[in-house]
Structure 1
């Protein structure tokens, strides 16, 4: 994804910077008054493309979100993945049973916070021009569609931030949400909103996006199907399981996309798989725009990466049936991992093995599991039937499960992790559903009463900059 030189601000707007544009024509740094910076649909389109650019990672790691650090942390902070004994020191504290990862000086936590607020600041900048840009017949699409994408992008960022830096909806310390800037106002310091206020804003942004965005943006832009899937995520978070089911079913009913069949598993994460109709939204990487071997998701995952250090556990691998099509394709217990000193031996995760493979963020099969989770709370018997049907049909013909109660919920989430490992879910799924765990490889344990399972600490640098902020209680 090419990037545009556009003003960006950290949370409360005192840091302004820009990044290199590599579109077909060079756009100079914005020096016009802010009310003149976006003055036509072509520039608006470039600015929205720039928002997607912030989903990537850059060479110094200061820009890193959905393309690498978020899916990585979702696995390493949960129960089915770990950093090997021999490592580059990246993410190494995630394996410490003393939970030293969760400190206000942690650089990874700071990067997540700053990058997501950069996305929000730039989205606010773009949204500030809503109603001021006329449709240009020479520019594909419409201004309404572009503004709708900006609202959806902002909603995604707020959803991710509140899920990590606050407790669950209706959880403890409900007044400790996150700041919610909605305007481009450099230098403004905002306190935390309540958790409910943050989710209310996410709902408002998704509702506005749904009214503006069309269906034909392609898999590298957010469209109506993406917004339906984001609504399903939202309703799971706020525990409205009926609506979560409804929106998941909307995605499943969308004939523009198809559930990934067993025959498509082997190639799905190759560059050939980028055109698969399973994918609703993916982050664009190509031969001219790469994160680099040191920086992208491939840097630390799989035996093909630069550092070869992040792996899945044997316990995770044991959940795959002998006939499961993901065994030996996405996950392998052979080759390089057998040379490592870790005990038990690691499992190689072979999803992303080339830097120019687009990073999958939203795909249709997620809707299957959003629906199953919602049904667990409303109709567990039907959830059990549908779980068995999906796994048997799409991944493992020999699969049979008959558990009930919380065991059924854990199985639904385990099957989701087997399918969507390294796609940004596990830690959040466990936290949202109040499922404590102990990582069998590292012995890291998170229980419901530990502050580390309630919320990330706010970065110390942000606390120093914004004196209106309060640290989450317990840190």
Structure 2
């Protein structure tokens, strides 16, 4: 199905104090023309400024909508004028605001990183090498995220489909064309390998370090189906001794403490207490203290499909990340058993339970403050489990899955053996992906995990996705891994400026 392209008109804008017309927008891929770097202090300031872009709502919030909302762990409970509804419903637009935001902010990070990478020679001081390594990591992270949003899964065609333009410190093209997904992944790996060699300082999880680069390499290799390398880099991170799985009450409070004190988080986008965005925060979409519209919008809930999976074991500590909204107006937290008096959202047919999500709330006691986690140790265990499952190392895979289940408070028959998998008619890969769904829910992994494994996304629960159907009381939605809609349009703003860019179908 060919999706219609909506064209926009570019207009000139006035220079301050004049009526002269400035040239039309520069493409986001254009190299920055800003003050040159001269000293180590300049490099440090430029690097900190590059991290700061990650915290912009135009990046962190929009990237969350692009990565989490296409999954099946959440249910949008009412339509919104915000483009996030299109992300959720798979009704993408060529001028979608969140895809445009991510494209522009990612290339802003890339251009800023390129300046430092070009300025710092490879044989400089340890401090300068560290900063250059951090910028290499940030550039790699941006390219990887861009390739996931705008390029098809690597596994579908070996990366031969169109990705995004690669703009490096040496790039001279004003209007670069799209590189293939494979070329983008190759650049990501090159940057991460070099970054890992250059970074020698054990910085906290707000910043890049050797282990952060290794952790992202683990994820990238898994997405490429290079299972040997995924296992190799998982081992490096797990055996580094820098991280440990949180347990018990510490795990239940995972997202509420001071981020750098968390021994499981490998890399997060740190937001200080002065950076609470209230209703513009990610968490405001999932949670509101006192009911909808009080401290947040609370328009997106945990799906009943996800809750059925979680409720198989009431003792599962991951219930702590769900706060059901009950009929007496009280949020149940921590949530460890099914709630009988849960409130239902009557805007949907059938009415749907209001399972609030609190993974993005109450950091350091502030209701809408959070530092979104990009990589954590549990993912690395599950990356290794998936790679081992695909290599036929089934017991190794089950050992890692059971390590995650055990720390979530599960034991006995809730842990997997080959015998109980055979009885249930499940493969080891099935339970690895199911465990990823449980453990990494609401963190932007689910749709990628399905599509890169050539599995369809199946929603069979109330949500605004039913508005795509006739009649709208049909609550099902299936998106095949080969569907055009599993990726987003290249922002039409960029297409209009750069004739060398081709649009996604």
TM above 0.5, one fold?
yes
Residue 424 in structure 1 maps to residue 457 in structure 2: no
Alignment-derived partner of residue 392 in structure 2: 379
409-418 or 359-368, which deviates more: 409-418
193-202 or 83-92, which deviates more: 83-92
Residue by residue over 1:169-228, the C-alpha shift from the partner in whole angstroms, topping out at 9 and shown as x without a partner, is 253482412110102768711001122211111111011101101241111101011111
Alignment-derived partner of residue 238 in structure 1: 224
350-359 or 120-129, which deviates more: 350-359
TM-score by length of 1: 0.84
Residue 331 in structure 1 maps to residue 310 in structure 2: no
Residue 217 in structure 1 maps to residue 216 in structure 2: no
By how many angstroms is 1:315 displaced? 1.5
Alignment-derived partner of residue 314 in structure 2: 322
Q: Secondary structure at the match of 1:230?
A: helix
Q: 2:108 aligns with which of 107, 118, 129?
A: 118
| TM-aligned CA distance change 1:395 to 1:214, over 3 Å | farther
| TM-aligned CA distance change 1:315 to 1:170, over 3 Å | closer
Alignment-derived partner of residue 498 in structure 2: 466
Residue by residue over 1:33-79, the C-alpha shift from the partner in whole angstroms, topping out at 9 and shown as x without a partner, is xxxx2111111111111111111124xxxx32xx3232333221011
By how many angstroms is 1:470 displaced? 0.9
After superposition, where does 1:72-151 map in structure 2 within 5 Å?
A: 72-85=65-78, 87=80, 89=82, 91-96=84-89, 99-100=90-91, 102-131=92-121, 135=125, 142-151=127-136
Kept in 2, the 8 Å contact 1:69–1:297? The answer is no
Alignment-derived partner of residue 168 in structure 1: 153
Q: 1:296 aligns with which of 276, 281, 291?
A: 281
Q: 2-side partners of 1:367 and 1:323: how far apart?
A: 24
Over alpha carbons, which structure has the higher Rg?
2
By how many angstroms is 1:246 displaced? 1.2
| TM-aligned CA distance change 1:332 to 1:396, over 3 Å | farther
Q: 2-side partners of 1:373 and 1:68: how far apart?
A: 28
Residue 197 in structure 1 maps to residue 179 in structure 2: no
Q: 2-side partners of 1:134 and 1:210: how far apart?
A: 16
Q: Secondary structure at the match of 1:225?
A: helix
By how many angstroms is 1:143 displaced? 0.2
Alignment-derived partner of residue 355 in structure 2: 347
Q: Secondary structure at the match of 2:285?
A: coil
Q: 2-side partners of 1:132 and 1:429: how far apart?
A: 36
Kept in 2, the 8 Å contact 1:40–1:133? The answer is no
Kept in 2, the 8 Å contact 1:360–1:423? The answer is yes
Q: 1-side partners of 2:145 and 2:88: how far apart?
A: 23
Alignment-derived partner of residue 155 in structure 1: 140
Kept in 1, the 8 Å contact 2:74–2:301? The answer is yes
Kept in 1, the 8 Å contact 2:73–2:442? The answer is no
Q: Secondary structure at the match of 2:156?
A: coil
Kept in 1, the 8 Å contact 2:243–2:265? The answer is yes
Q: 1-side partners of 2:147 and 2:497: how far apart?
A: 20
By how many angstroms is 1:428 displaced? 1.3
Alignment-derived partner of residue 27 in structure 1: none
Kept in 2, the 8 Å contact 1:226–1:280? The answer is yes
Kept in 2, the 8 Å contact 1:10–1:117? The answer is no
TM-score by length of 2: 0.79
After superposition, where does 1:12-27 map in structure 2 within 5 Å?
A: 12-13=29-30
Alignment-derived partner of residue 306 in structure 1: 296
Q: 1:390 aligns with which of 384, 397, 404?
A: 404
Q: 2-side partners of 1:197 and 1:265: how far apart?
A: 39
Alignment-derived partner of residue 229 in structure 1: 215
Q: 1-side partners of 2:145 and 2:109: how far apart?
A: 12
Q: 1-side partners of 2:181 and 2:66: how far apart?
A: 22
Q: 1-side partners of 2:300 and 2:139: how far apart?
A: 30
Residue 41 in structure 1 maps to residue 40 in structure 2: yes
Q: 1-side partners of 2:50 and 2:393: how far apart?
A: 40
- Structure 2: segments with no counterpart, 5+ residues: 1-24, 290-294, 330-341, 362-366, 466-475
